[in-house]
């Protein structure tokens, strides 16, 4: 008798989040030029009872952690990987801002490839609309 199919890691994560009764998790995506709007979206989503994850570094603002160009490039790659993990963790993506650059476009495509719903603060910015 063949073994029943094993759940995927994504299915296991969804089941664990349900067992833990975790609130809906939203990941905020967008250009860090919209950090103020991201913070406002974080406030609104949190007030609505959702767990929010978002970019934690605004590399467009000066900081010692990314003042060296070589280290800045390595950090950017690590942050991109970290943000993809946030997308995998989340139940939904919220794209903030009216501009969609290459990084955000790639995040939207990644989220959609995983079957994650994607919302926009500016629906006209949806590259697939």
CATH code of residue 81: 3.40.50.450
pTM of the model: 0.91
Expressed as residue numbers, the domain containing 55 is: 22-123
Summarize pLDDT for 59-103 with one digit per residue, the tens.
988 999 999 999 999 999 999 999 999 999 999 999 999 999 999
- Confirm whether 33 is domain-assigned: yes
Count of structural domains, the chain: 1
For the chain, percent of residues with pLDDT exceeding 90: 88
- Confirm whether 43 is domain-assigned: yes
- Confirm whether 128 is domain-assigned: no
- Confirm whether 12 is domain-assigned: no
What distance separates the 2 farthest-apart alpha carbons in the chain?
62
Instruction: Report CA-CA distances (Å) from 89 to 62, 67, 108, 124.
Output: 29, 30, 14, 26
- Confirm whether 111 is domain-assigned: yes
Residue 31, class by beta-carbon neighbours within 10 Å (0-12 exposed, 13-18 middle, 19+ buried)? Answer: buried
Helix ranges restricted to H, the chain: 9-19, 35-47, 69-89, 102-113
pLDDT above 80 (res 1): no
- Confirm whether 5 is domain-assigned: no
- Confirm whether 97 is domain-assigned: yes
- Confirm whether 7 is domain-assigned: no
């Amino acid at each position: 008798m063949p073994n029943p199919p094993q759940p995927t890691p994504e299915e296991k994560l969804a089941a664990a989040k349900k067992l833990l009764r975790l609130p809906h998790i939203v990941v905020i995506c967008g250009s860090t030029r919209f950090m103020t709007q991201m913070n406002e979206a974080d406030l609104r989503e949190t007030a609505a009872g959702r767990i929010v994850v978002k970019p934690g570094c605004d590399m467009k603002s000066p900081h010692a952690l990314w003042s060296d160009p070589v280290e800045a490039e390595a950090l950017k790659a690590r942050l991109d990987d970290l943000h993809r993990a946030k997308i995998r963790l989340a139940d939904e993506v919220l794209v903030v801002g009216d501009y969609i650059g290459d990084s955000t476009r790639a995040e939207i495509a990644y989220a959609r490839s995983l079957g994650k719903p994607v919302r926009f603060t500016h629906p006209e910015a949806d590259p697939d609309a």
